Amino acid sequence: MTKTLITSRDPKGQQATTVFEAAYNKAKLDDDGAQRLNESKSFAAGLLDLIKMHSAKQPDYTLARSILGGDFITPEEITTVRPDVVYTSEQIATLADSIPSADVLKWCKKSGYAVVAGSPSPMSLIDVRSAKSDHFYSKTEGWYANANQKFSRDDKVSLGWLLIRKEPVPKSLSKNWDEQSALLGSGEFVPNAAEMSWVITVFYDVRGVRLFERVYVRTSSLVSGGGRVSVGFFGSKGLDVDYNWDYDRDGLLGVAAARK
């Protein structure tokens, strides 16, 4: 196996020792180990991702952070607290190129929104729970794991920036679905249960803050019988996923909001 995986040259044209060669030498592999490394497809693929990630131009989050502060959560911050969540260099570049404009970021700040990187691959509510089951009231199974509850597998969070209001829409408590929907502003919509669960649990992991700790919010997800899924009461026992009917009014039930 060639020890020098990538080389650079000095001004005289001579090959310079690289970080890869140094790391290889430091590993002190025997012949069998070197052979296994040479034949490992996963190593080659992982090395390629690392090369792309660390050689790519670093994203500039300065503007977003200056406007939103802690309410702006990057993919790098997510991977720091969740090592199992891996963004490719291409995905990070895509997110960096699609950061909302300054005007939108200022609107988010004024309106109590958080801007959070979505998941690198599509994740359902069940997937989000499986990734961090200790953050949920129902750690496994539960009513929404039933095969009839398609929303828990079909509604997903995916790559992109999620612009989510950190509290229920103002004045939406104690109202039915139609009344709550009428409170949404221009450009706002109701996110699904997977998107809300991702933002709530990721925000806690990165910032240590529990959103929707003492209140539920309706989402756009629907149960098999037509009821609307709500999430909330994210206390020490975990995020609760419940449902209610569109005609229901409850003093602890508001509606979630997101922005396109």
Q: So what's the pLDDT on residue 7?
A: 47
Q: So what's the pLDDT on residue 36?
A: 73
Over 70: is that where the pLDDT of 10 sits? no
Rounded Cα–Cα distance for residues 231 and 139 (Å): 15
Q: So what's the pLDDT on residue 47?
A: 63
pTM beyond 0.75, yes or no: yes
Q: So what's the pLDDT on residue 3?
A: 45
Over 50: is that where the pLDDT of 15 sits? no
Rounded Cα–Cα distance for residues 39 and 56 (Å): 27
Mean pLDDT score across all residues of the chain: 89
Report which of 32, 31, 2, 41 is spatially closest to residue 18, judged by C-alpha positions.
Answer: 2
CB 132, CB 201: distance < 8 Å: yes
- How would residue 205 be classed by pLDDT, with cut points 50, 70 and 90? very high
Tell which wins on pLDDT, 29 or 191.
191
